[in-house]
Amino acid sequence: MRSKITTSGRITILLGKQQAETGERTSPRKLAEKAGVPKDFVYRLDAGTARHVDLEALARLCAALNCELQDILVWEAEHGESL
């Protein structure tokens, strides 16, 4: 297995954390609207199928989720552990 960057499931996790902190439930579609990014971009990121990532869109998602870039993009080492 090769090392890779993954985003699979990260948006769902971050939305869950945000809901736990604020009590407000936000769907991926509402997140996309709030961040000003296409909803398909949010769904592809969460599914781990995004092939190219717009850095400005990623920055807007981070701002909307109040998170850091490494909360969305996760490096998976060859042995399967996240770094």
The two tokens of residue 38 are 């296409």
**pTM (predicted TM-score):** 0.83
Domains of the chain: 4-76 (1.10.260.40)
Residue 13 pLDDT > 70: yes
* Of 32, 33, 43, 35, the residue nearest 7 (C-alpha): 43
pLDDT in tens, 30-78: 999 999 999 999 999 999 999 888 999 999 999 999 999 999 999 888 7
